[in-house]
Amino acid sequence: MAVKIRLKRIGKKRTPHYRIVVMDARAKRDGRAIEEIGIYNPKTEPSFIRVESDETTYNLHILLRFEMEQAMLGNDLSVDDVPAAWNERMKKYLGLTPPDDAKGCLQDVHWSHGSFGYFPTYSLGSFYAAQFYAFANQAIPDLNDHIRKGNTTSLLQWLRNQVHNKGRRFTSEQLCQEICGETLNIEYFISYLLDKYKDIYKF
């Protein structure tokens, strides 16, 4: 059975958001979904919780954690002072003050099992993805139109040829150089955000 990934609109009239669903390719647009695989909110709003944040603010959550890890490992921040330091940075970066530690410094499991230095890999994944997609877009005519129609075949083939078949033969930087002719460049991620949100917010 051939399937497609589609967006099903939910939410109020002027505040749309969407369920990301997998459907039989033959089904009507408003037909029954096989599985719901995510939520997409095209507008942005700061969140207390990292995993509920949007892509414009997510990396600020990562920055907050990385700064605190550096401070703790450098003996510049004691464990007792973590809640206050967390709240201070949340206010600085996101304009929010957590009502309790459950929505603040205790929301992640990483530190409790010793995964220090792990958070930045989430941001790196986003940055590499934006750069790779920019080059896939150059290589595949009308790629964005394919994606809009739920057709990911051309992108998957490009990824298999350019990324997946390399396995672990290269480091991330080497792979990026191999695919893009340059190492990681944050400008691709910034351009992605600007191109997407300028249409939503009309700036």
Taking phi over 0 as left and psi of -120 to 50 as alpha, with beta for the rest, 181 belongs to left
65 C-beta neighbours (distance < 10 Å), count: 23
Question: Length of the chain in residues, anyone?
Answer: 203
- Residue-wise DSSP of 132-171: HHHHHHHHSTTHHHHHHTT--HHHHHHHHHHTGGGTTSS-
Q: Write down the pLDDT at residue 24.
A: 84
Nearest to 154 by CA among 140, 138, 134, 133: 140
CA–CA separation, 137 vs 121, rounded Å? 24
More confident call, 119 vs 54:
119
Is the confidence at residue 12, as pLDDT, over 70? no
Q: Write down the pLDDT at residue 179.
A: 96
Domain boundaries along the sequence of the chain: 3-40, 50-118, 121-201
The one-character DSSP state at 130 is H
Confidence of residue 189 (pLDDT cuts 50, 70, 90): very high
Q: What is the pTM of this model?
A: 0.78
pLDDT digits (tens, 9 = 90+) for 61-89: 999 999 999 999 999 999 999 999 999 99
Is the confidence at residue 201, as pLDDT, over 80? no
CA–CA separation, 75 vs 91, rounded Å? 23
CA–CA separation, 156 vs 151, rounded Å? 10
Mean of pLDDT values over 49-55 = 89
CA–CA separation, 184 vs 170, rounded Å? 14
CA–CA separation, 52 vs 39, rounded Å? 10
Q: Angle between the 58-73 and 82-94 helix axes, to the nearest 10 degrees? A: 150
CATH number of 3-40: 3.30.1320.10
| Residue 117 backbone dihedrals phi, psi, to 5 degrees | 85, 5
Q: Write down the pLDDT at residue 3.
A: 80
Confidence of residue 197 (pLDDT cuts 50, 70, 90): confident
pLDDT digits (tens, 9 = 90+) for 92-146: 999 999 999 999 999 999 999 899 999 999 999 999 999 999 999 999 999 999 9
